[in-house]
Structure 1
Amino acid sequence: MNVLLVHAHPEPTSVTRHLVDTASEVLAAQGHHVMESDLYGMGWKAVFDGQDFPERTNEDRLSFIEESGHAFANGCQTTDVEGEQRKLQAADAVILVFPLWWYSMPAIMKGWIDRVWAFGLAYGYRGAGNAYRYGEGGFAGKRALLAVSVGGPEKDYSPRGINGPLEQLLFPITHGTLFFPGMQVLPTFAVYGSAGIEPGRMAEATAAWKRRLERLFDDEPIPFRPQNGGDYPDCHVLADHVAPGLTGLLAHIADAPQFGSDVEGS
C-alpha cells in the first residue's frame, strides 16, 4: 500500500518527529511505500490567497471556489499544490502527525489543507455540489489517521475533563476535513503529557504507536454516518427516528457511546 505521512513540527527531536520516524520505519518494514510531506522542512506556504491562482478567471473579485475549481479543472494550479495532490491521489492511507496547538493542528498544516483540498477534488466533486460528501467524494476508499502529541495530561481530555474529550475537539478535522471528502477515519492516536515526557513513558507510547501502525489497514474506522446512507433524508438533517433525543456532534456517529474509547494515551 501507499501511505502518505504529513507532519508539522520544526523541531527534529520533538515527539511529533519521533512518531513520524517510527511510522516510516514500521510501515516500510511491512512492505508499504511511504511518502512524506514535511511541511516545515518544505517551507510550505500556509496562506491561501490570490497567489494560488496564476491564471485568474476574475481579476476583479477573488472567489476561492471559482478560482480553485478553474485551476484544478484546467491544470493551472501552483506546482507545490499539484505535487501534494499527486501524493494524496496515490495514497491508500494518509496519516497527519502534529502537536495539538490551541486545540487544533498547527497553522502550517491547516494551510496545507486549505490549499490542497481543491474544488472539484475534495469538495464540489464531479461538479455535483454537495451530492458527494461525508463518506463519498474524491478521497473515497482512502484511510486516514491522526497522530497527535498533546502537552497536557490525559485526564484533562477525559469525558468530563476540563479541556473536553480529544475526539470531540478534533471532530472538525476527522469528520469535516477527512470524512467530508470520503476518507474512512480511524480513531485518533494520542500521546498525552508530551511536554517533557520521560523516556520510559515515551517507550510505552512508541510501542503503542507501532501496534496501531501494524493495524492501519485492519482497524475499524470511526462510524460516522454517511450523508447518502439514509440517515439524512434531505442530505442536511438527521431523520427524527435516528438517534432520537441526541444532538450535537455525537448524533453524527453511529456508535456514539463508544466514540473516543479507542484513543490511546501514554
Structure 2
Amino acid sequence: MQTLIVAAPPSPTSLTARLLAAAEDELVSTGHDVDVIDLAAIDWDPVVRPGDYGLSAITGPVGTHAAQAIAAGTLDPTIARHQELLRGAELIVFMFPLWWFGMPAILKGWVDRVYTQGFAFGLDDAAGRTRKYGDGGLAGKRGLVITSAGDRETSFARRGVNGGIDELLFPITHGIFFYTGTAPLEPLTVLGVDTPVWAGADDAEAKVRKRLAGVTDEAPIPYRRMLADYDGDRVLRPELAPGREDLAVHRADR
C-alpha cells in the first residue's frame, strides 16, 4: 500500500519523532511503500501566501485563486509536489501532538496550503452535485490520525473534562478526511504522557506498531454520506438519530 505520513514533531527528540520513526519502520517492514513529510525538518511555512498561486497579491477568494493556479500550472512547485504525493497515496497518516485541542499550526497550515480548492475539494460529479462528505478529490483513500496528549486517559472520555477524544478529533476525521472523500479510520491516541502512571515511550511505540501492522484490514468510521443521509439544507434527515444533536449522530453505527 502506498502510504504518505505527514508529521509535526516539535523536535527531533520528541515523542512524536520517535513514533514517526517507528511508524515508518513498521509500515516498510510490512510491505508498504512509504513517503514521509516531516514538516519541522523541511521548515514548512504554514501561512497561505500569494506566491502559492503565482500571484503578487490575493485580491479575491483564496479558493478561486488556488483552482485557477492548478488549471494554469502556476501553483507553487512544492505544493504541487505534495499534492502529487497525496494523489498517489492509498493511506494518509497525520502524526502530531495534540496542542490546544487540535493540530499544531505547522500541520494545520500544511492542510491549508496543500488541500486546495480544485484538488481536494470544490469539485462536482457528473450530475453537477458538489462532491464532499463521502466524496471529493481524495476519494478512494484511507486516513489515520496518530496523536498524543498529556492529560490522563479518563479526562478524554466523553464525560471527562477535556471532552471525548473522538469528538476533539472530529474536525480532522470528518472535516478534513471525510470531507474530501478519504475514508477515516478510528484515530490512534497515546494519552496521559504527562502523568506519573504513563507506561512510557516503549509502550507507545509498541502500540503504534501493533496498530499499523493491521491497518490494511480495518473498517473505516461509518460516517453518513451527504447525498444519502442529509436533506437539501444539509441537515441530517429526521428519521436518523431522532431527537439527538451530538456529533455521534453523523456516524451510522451510533
Structure 2 length as normaliser, TM-score? 0.93
Gap change, CA 1:193 and 1:130, over 3 Å in 2: farther
Q: CA 1:7 to 1:245, structure 2 compared with 1: closer, same or farther past 3 Å?
A: same
Q: Which residue of 1 aligns with 2:180?
A: 181
Deviation at 1:195, TM superposition (A): 3.3
Paired residue secondary structure (2:94): strand
What are the equivalent positions in structure 2 for 1:88-237 lying under 5 Å apart? Answer: 88-126=86-124, 131-195=130-194, 200-228=199-227, 230-234=228-232, 236-237=234-235
Equivalent in the alignment of 1:262: none
State the alpha-carbon separation in 2 of the partners of residues 201 and 10 from structure 1.
18
| CA RMSD after TM alignment | 2.0
Give the superposition deviation at 1:51. 2.5
Q: Give CA-to-partner distance per residue, 1:217-252, whole Å, 9 cap, x none.
A: 111111110112x21132611111111111131111
Alignment of 1:16-55 (within 5 A): 16-55=16-55
- The aligned residue for residue 264 of structure 1 is none
Structure 1's unaligned 5+ residue stretches are 257-266
If the length of structure 1 is used for normalisation, what is the TM-score? 0.89
- What is the aligned residue count? 253
Q: Secondary structure at the match of 1:148?
A: strand
Identity %: 38
**Pair 1:199–1:28, CA change in 2 (3 A):** farther
SS in 2 for 1:42: coil
Distance in 2 of aligned mates of 1:7 and 1:205: 16
Q: Secondary structure at the match of 2:99?
A: coil
**Comparing 231-240 and 3-12, the one that deviates more:** 231-240
Q: Which runs of 4+ in 1 moved over 3 A?
A: 126-130, 195-201
127-136 or 207-216, larger mean C-alpha shift: 127-136
Indicate conservation of the 8 Å contact 2:134/2:181, yes or no.
yes
Paired letter, 1:250: A
Rounded to whole Å, the distance in 2 between the matches of 1:255 and 1:206 is 30
